[in-house]
């Protein structure tokens, strides 16, 4: 699990530096929306 955590962090950092803040904002909003939708569907 630590290996995949390290790989994901490295890949995420490189992608964020290459794509810029606009890409990071879109990904963040997509993840937050998906988590909110999942919460509303299965937990609430």
- pLDDT by residue (tens digit) across 1-18? 999 999 999 999 999 999
For all residues of the chain together, what is the average pLDDT? Answer: 93
Here the contacts of 14-17 (C-beta below 8 Å, separation 24 or greater) are: none
**3-class SS shares of the chain: helix, strand, coil, % to 5:** 95, 0, 5
Angle at 36 between CA 31 and CA 37, to 5 degrees: 100
Give 18's contacts (C-beta < 8 A, 6+ positions apart).
Answer: none
Name residues whose C-beta falls within 8 Å of residue 24's C-beta, 6 or more positions apart in sequence. Answer: 16
pTM for this prediction = 0.68
């Amino acid at each position: 699990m630590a290996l995949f955590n390290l790989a994901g962090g490295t890949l995420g950092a490189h992608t964020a530096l290459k794509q810029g803040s606009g890409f990071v904002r879109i990904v963040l909003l997509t993840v937050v929306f998906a988590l909110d939708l999942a919460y509303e569907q299965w937990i609430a």
